[in-house]
Amino acid sequence: MSERLRRAPRVRVPSGTGRRGVATVMAAAFALTVSGALPTPAGPARDSGDVVREGLRRLVRDDRFPAALATTTGRDGRTHTYAAGVADVTTGAKVPADGQVRAGSNTKAFTAAVVLQLVGEGKVALDAPIERYLPRLVRGATADGRHITVRQLLQHTSGLPNYTDYLGDFAAYRHTHRPPRALLDLALAHRALFAPGTGWSYSNTNYLLAGLLVERVTGRPLAEQLTHRVIDRIGLRHTYVPGPGDERLREAHPEGYLPSGTAGPLTDVTEEDPAWAGAAGALVSTPGDLNRFFRALLGGALLRPAQLAEMRRTVPAAGLWPGARYGLGLIRTPLRCGGVMWGHGGDIPGYRTRTGVTADGRAVTVAVTADPAPAPKTPDHALSLLDSALCT
């Protein structure tokens, strides 16, 4: 068993400074600055397609990802797909255009959207304690649901410890269905990080509870609600929430890999039961569908104006990249050319995705097929490629 397989993954966007467990499978450290975008060589001006193609080639050549995929969407909604590398390191198969990947923590934006729909329907109050909806469930070492609000869960200001820090060996639970309650108990056995509302710390436990909230309020499974309220509503044809034991990706996809140390072989981890990621990171999607989702979300197709405004209210997100701010399931990132992009991103064993959409509807999603990066100490060039593409 490789060293990487012995570490507990984290469904999260990567952290440059990190807290406990930043060297785990799910959080490869990196140091991205606004000026850290992929450099553009001197010479004639290039269009965004040239920038994306070269960026993907560099992700494969320099960062040693087996494959890199991207979809760009223009203001008019027209899309272009790009790919580099191979879908399978054993067979050398071609990378499928807009192939399916595990979307990791992009799932949080979907979950937050459903919670905010319930807020708009008057069924949930953002500033009500989670105790109102999940009575006596959040009780642990210094954690108390009577003092943690729904907003604090969605914004990672609850202080709840991150259950994925304590999962143990990935190989031991990769093919095991882990129910939400067992995962919650794992988190609540540890002390809270800070009093609710007094700090910020990325914790998948927050979205585990958000998923349970949706199920309690609607009386229906979270997967059904995500499908009915988001996926089907905006026509995401290649996006789904895997069911229990649903370990394979259903459509054309590149394989996902886990590096074995800094120079070891890649382990194919495409097949897994992602129930351990749940409402925080279990979703399967494509770069094209993720572009469609974030464009629809920021364009007001999923939420009423009041709830979308709440989603876009941000706080500083210490531990992410410089300038990042976290809303309710959304990350706001400054662009080096001015303005901002909105999105989320996600890491899950085998896949890393980065998403960004601008106010005028341009969108870029980049996916790579290993997590963490096979090359040691690699900055997050997938994220900086978004900046380069949107600023070209």
Please report, as a single letter, which amino acid is at residue 210. A
Task: Classify 358 as helix, strand or coil.
Answer: coil
- The interaxial angle of helices 180-188 and 204-218, nearest 10 deg, is 130
Angle subtended at Cα 91 by Cα 86 and Cα 92, rounded to the nearest 5 degrees: 25
The answer to whether the beta carbons of residues 69 and 366 sit under 8 Å apart is yes
Distance of alpha carbon 12 from alpha carbon 162, whole angstroms? 10
Distance of alpha carbon 284 from alpha carbon 286, whole angstroms? 7
Residue pointed to by tokens 């469904």:
11
Extract the tokens encoding 179.
């129910």
**Catalytic annotation on 105?**
yes
End-to-end CA distance of the chain, in Å? 44
Distance of alpha carbon 56 from alpha carbon 380, whole angstroms? 12
> Could you say which of 105, 158, 285, 384 is catalytic?
105
Q: Which residues contact 130 (CB under 8 A, 6 or more apart)?
A: 137, 138, 145, 148, 149, 150, 153, 209, 213
The answer to whether the beta carbons of residues 51 and 388 sit under 8 Å apart is yes
Task: Classify 333 as helix, strand or coil.
Answer: strand
Q: Where are the alpha helices (DSSP H) in 269-334?
A: 278-281, 287-298, 305-311
Extract the tokens encoding 106.
């992009």
Please report, as a single letter, which amino acid is at residue 220. R
Extract the tokens encoding 328.
């309710």
Cα within 13 Å of Cα(197), Cβ side: 10
Extract the tokens encoding 97.
């255009």
Please report the sign of the dihedral spanned by the C-alpha atoms of residue 119, residue 213, residue 160, residue 343: negative
Active site residues: 105
